[in-house]
Structure 1
Amino acid sequence: MQITIEELSSVKKKIKFEVPAERVSHEIGKVYEKIRKQAAVKGFRKGKAPQSYIEKYYSDAMADDVLRNLFNESYPKALLDNKLVPVAHPLLESDGVVAGEDLKFSATVEVVPEIGNVAYEGLQVTKETFVADPVKVEERLQQIRENMAQFAPAAADHAAAQGDMVVIDFEGFIDGVPFPGGKGEDHSLVLGSGSFIPGFEEQLIGLNGGAEADIKVTFPSDYHAKELAGVEASFSVMVKEIKTRELPALDDDFAKEMGDFENMEQLRNRLEETIEKQEKDRIESDLREQLVKALVEKNDCEVPQTLVDRQLESMLDGAKKRLESQRMSLAMMGMDDDQYKTQFRDVAEHKVKSSLIMSALARQEGVKVEEADIEQQLKKMSEESGHNYDRLKEFYTNNAQANESLVEYLIDEKVFSMLMAKAEITEAAKS
């Protein structure tokens, strides 16, 4: 059998096969014999139908089986001999199976690109210098304080203001006709939250409890209910109650409510430590992104679109799950699946490129994960999560997929350490 490779691109190959007539005829004979033994032919006992009859009525099935058998026999060997790693099923094409003639067929397949020597020394990146900022501690305290705020009934003469909660009944109309989903009773709305149709909340400011109002709005052009997108509507609103936000005092009692703290000084110290860790983690993450971007730019390569499509599907699935956890959807973001894929295709392609190049670099430098590396990581995970070490070890030992993910993570960590050790890192304050 003769096998040749046509290079359609660095990630797409057309593998051509030419099988000698003698080999084809032998395979045809084997297939016909198998069909003859299995075929139930009217007028003949099973396995006793004459060869001429079998060839007349089963020629298409024979051709399919012969092609499949010769493909299965030769394709894996062609991949192995040419060091090709497919990422999808091949497109199989044939001139047809004819007894006494050579058989020519081809398999067009996307493959992992062959990445040569990965250049990774001297990547130029900028690392943000960490600077402790007491203001951030106070901002975080204020956020916590606002989250712990309680709403209490306002004075009778209090006019609704930004930050207040109003309890309303409402009914929406389009051209004077109520529309589905446009009615609500005892609906609590925090003014300034942006949780209602744009322009609605602003028209409630200044109203007193018991007031009625006619509010006119226009639904956004990208509104998730497409039949309402861009439509003008009016709402009849009754303000049933106004509540004002009452913030707790920042004192030692507040600190004690937040956990194992005796006073505000201890709470502030803990917040300072937390913010410092979060900021340093953010700086580290940004540095890694820069390193990967610089590595890809220095070793750019073509990637199989099949892998990009898979990455996009994974990203889309993750985005949907995150939105669902927040009781939201892509439609509420003014986007469908195709629009998401179009918008994030470049991101997916970059992820695929970086993964392939990082893997190639790991192979190039002989990066390996030892048992000691896994044990050290499991101990770290145990300390950070509070999970029992032995149970963690048992889980990763018995779960092949989880163990593989852990090994991949540790390889990436070692590769990142190599990149940082060889990079030209400039430290600079945040601009």
Structure 2
Amino acid sequence: MSVTETLNEGLKRAYKLIVTAQELDDKVNEKLTEAQPEIEMKGFRKGKVPMALLKKQFGQRLMGEAMQEAIDAKMGSHFEETGDRPAMQPEVKMTNEDWSEGDDVHVELAYEKLPDVPEVDFAKLKLERMVVKAGDDEVDGALKSLAENAQDFEDRKKGSKAKDGDQVVLDFVGRVDGEEFEGGAAEDFPLTLGSGQFIPGFEEQLVGVKAGDELDVTVTFPEEYGAEHLAGKEAVFSCTIKAVKAPKPAAIDDDLAKKFGAEDLAQLKAQVTERLEAEYAGAARAVMKRKMLDLLDETVSFDLPPSLVEAEAKQIAHQLYHDEHPEDHGHDHGEIEVTDEHTKLAERRVKLGLLLAEIGRAAEIEVSDAEMTQAVMNQARQYPGQERQFFEFVQQNDQMRQQIQAPIFEDKVIDHIAEQAKVADKEVSKEDLEKAVEALDQE
């Protein structure tokens, strides 16, 4: 098999490959020899069918398979010898379409190779990491929020009317077409008005009730309601109000701490402080990461595969179109124009993507099975009751696995760079950090 270079321009490469008729014949014979021991044919014992007869019977059928394997093998050898890594799937085209058995096969191979990415001296990168300490006001605010979430309710004065946010204790019996239905009745049920716990329209009709009131609440089950026999049906709930209670935030004390798994208030405060500062550190890391990527974009330069830039620009244009037109859920909007702005952003993304990938490869950075499993578990929690189906979907979908793996890999590369760069910690206020985070969204 011969290989002749026909194009070497920038990152573009093209070659002519010739697979000789003899090479194809040898490949077919090899496959027949491999299969011969298992072949049975009338008049011959198993494994004793003559090669000439096998070739007559199966040779033509195996020719296409042999041709593909021969071409794939030569392409593999070519990439191994040259060190080229295609940016996208190579184009492979058979040029002698009038080929018949006994002819050589002429193939054209074309691709864009990934560029040679220059090494980066990370020690020359100067970065600043914002550090925010959790102040007393932030800690007190977080404790107050915990107390509100752990709130209790106390009886309002006799005759008080229920307000939004109050708890109403009631008995109720629901009927559809005059008939009670399963799950439509309860006694001494505590319902917080405004919680959205009941069917839309139910809680709103209880605003203003008093203990001792009896009333009918009429609502319509949503069309997409889980129980098909109730979906879209009108229901009447006969309600008896037992009590009206006002919310009472829990006291910020040791008892509150124990509700959240801490030994006492001091330990709860320490946990809250740690959590707040971990949140600040995460935000500060995002700011530093952006600065790092900006520096890399400014200081590192190499050729970019046009095909990757074009594909990324189209993806950006498509995504921005749907961000601006959320009502358009389909893809029949026709071709979306790619602007210079889209292309410029695509060039940055492609450059940084290739750069981080090369840094990770050189540093032998990998995403472990444990890290991948944890990431999948985190995403599976977004689908309560369907976690198993989500796991199976990820296992069967290479693209989904890559989407989950990519940000983990990128974060590990960012950490690898930060460990070698000159990073100076700078203590700032929470407000300064918030402004820096807001600036990220505006860029």
Query: Could you tell me which residue of structure 2 aligns to residue 400 of structure 1?
Result: none
Matched, 1:238 2:239: yes
Instruction: Give deviations 1:99-127, integer Å, cap 9, x for gaps.
Output: 43212457899x99436337898999996
Cα offset for 1:136? 2.0
Aligned partners of 2:198 and 2:13: how far apart in 1? 54
Q: Is the 8 A contact 1:24 1:101 kept in 2?
A: no
Matched, 1:74 2:74: yes
Map of 1:70-149 to 2, 5 A cutoff? 70-71=70-71, 73-85=73-85, 99-104=101-106, 113-114=114-115, 116-117=117-118, 130=132, 132-149=134-151
Aligned partners of 2:255 and 2:282: how far apart in 1? 32
Query: Could you tell me which residue of structure 1 aligns to residue 387 of structure 2?
Result: none
Cα offset for 1:55? 3.4
Flag the 1:248–1:26 CA change in 2: closer, same or farther, 3 A: closer
Q: Is the 8 A contact 1:160 1:207 kept in 2?
A: yes
Between stretches 87-96 and 44-53, larger displacement belongs to 87-96
Aligned partners of 1:297 and 1:178: how far apart in 2? 70
Query: Could you tell me which residue of structure 2 aligns to residue 361 of structure 1?
Result: 359
Matched, 1:55 2:71: no
Q: Is the 8 A contact 1:6 1:14 kept in 2?
A: yes
* Match for residue 215 of structure 2 among 204, 212, 215: 212
Map of 1:270-419 to 2, 5 A cutoff? 270=270, 273-274=273-274, 277-291=277-291, 294=294, 302=308, 356-362=354-360, 367=363, 411-418=413-420
Aligned partners of 1:303 and 1:30: how far apart in 2? 43
Structure 1 unpaired stretches of 5+: 310-335, 339-345, 370-404
SS of match in other structure, 1:194: coil
One-letter amino acid of the structure 2 residue matched with residue 213 of structure 1: D
Aligned partners of 2:165 and 2:6: how far apart in 1? 68
Aligned partners of 1:422 and 1:277: how far apart in 2? 18
SS of match in other structure, 2:217: strand
Query: Could you tell me which residue of structure 2 aligns to residue 374 of structure 1?
Result: none
Q: Is the 8 A contact 2:209 2:241 kept in 1?
A: no
Instruction: Give deviations 1:236-291, integer Å, cap 9, x for gaps.
Output: 35254444433333356656777444xx6x46862673255234313323224524
Aligned partners of 1:12 and 1:217: how far apart in 2? 64
Question: RMSD over aligned Cα, in angstroms?
Answer: 5.8
Cα offset for 1:160? 2.1
Aligned partners of 1:233 and 1:12: how far apart in 2? 67
Between stretches 120-129 and 234-243, larger displacement belongs to 120-129
SS of match in other structure, 1:58: helix
Aligned partners of 2:215 and 2:16: how far apart in 1? 79
Q: Is the 8 A contact 1:130 1:279 kept in 2?
A: no
Q: Is the 8 A contact 1:24 1:99 kept in 2?
A: no
Cα offset for 1:97? 8.0
One-letter amino acid of the structure 2 residue matched with residue 76 of structure 1: G
Cα offset for 1:233? 5.5
Cα offset for 1:151? 3.8
One-letter amino acid of the structure 2 residue matched with residue 357 of structure 1: L
One-letter amino acid of the structure 2 residue matched with residue 143 of structure 1: S
Aligned partners of 1:231 and 1:193: how far apart in 2? 22
Flag the 1:36–1:193 CA change in 2: closer, same or farther, 3 A: same
Aligned partners of 1:34 and 1:256: how far apart in 2? 72
One-letter amino acid of the structure 1 residue matched with residue 151 of structure 2: A
**Number of residue equivalences:** 348
Query: Could you tell me which residue of structure 1 aligns to residue 205 of structure 2?
Result: 203
SS of match in other structure, 2:252: coil
Cα offset for 1:178? 8.7
Map of 1:264-275 to 2, 5 A cutoff? 266=266, 270=270, 273-274=273-274
Aligned partners of 2:45 and 2:255: how far apart in 1? 94
Flag the 1:270–1:361 CA change in 2: closer, same or farther, 3 A: same
Matched, 1:40 2:40: yes
Q: Is the 8 A contact 1:66 1:97 kept in 2?
A: no
Cα offset for 1:129? 6.5
One-letter amino acid of the structure 1 residue matched with residue 290 of structure 2: Q
Aligned partners of 1:420 and 1:177: how far apart in 2? 75
One-letter amino acid of the structure 2 residue matched with residue 44 of structure 1: F
One-letter amino acid of the structure 1 residue matched with residue 283 of structure 2: I
Aligned partners of 1:180 and 1:108: how far apart in 2? 69
Instruction: Give deviations 1:207-262, integer Å, cap 9, x for gaps.
Output: 1244323345795x9x686999x97956535254444433333356656777444x
Instruction: Give deviations 1:37-91, integer Å, cap 9, x for gaps.
Output: 5421112333454555433431343214423542464243123123345799989
TM-score (norm 2): 0.55
SS of match in other structure, 2:356: helix
Flag the 1:171–1:117 CA change in 2: closer, same or farther, 3 A: farther
Structure 2 unpaired stretches of 5+: 316-328, 332-341, 366-406, 436-443
* Identical-pair percentage: 19
Instruction: Give deviations 1:8-31, integer Å, cap 9, x for gaps.
Output: x99999886421223223333333
Query: Could you tell me which residue of structure 2 aligns to residue 191 of structure 1?
Result: 193
Q: Is the 8 A contact 1:63 1:97 kept in 2?
A: no
SS of match in other structure, 2:285: helix
TM-score (norm 1): 0.57
Aligned partners of 2:25 and 2:38: how far apart in 1? 20
Flag the 1:233–1:407 CA change in 2: closer, same or farther, 3 A: closer
One-letter amino acid of the structure 2 residue matched with residue 81 of structure 1: E
Flag the 1:61–1:79 CA change in 2: closer, same or farther, 3 A: same
Flag the 1:85–1:354 CA change in 2: closer, same or farther, 3 A: same
One-letter amino acid of the structure 1 residue matched with residue 215 of structure 2: E
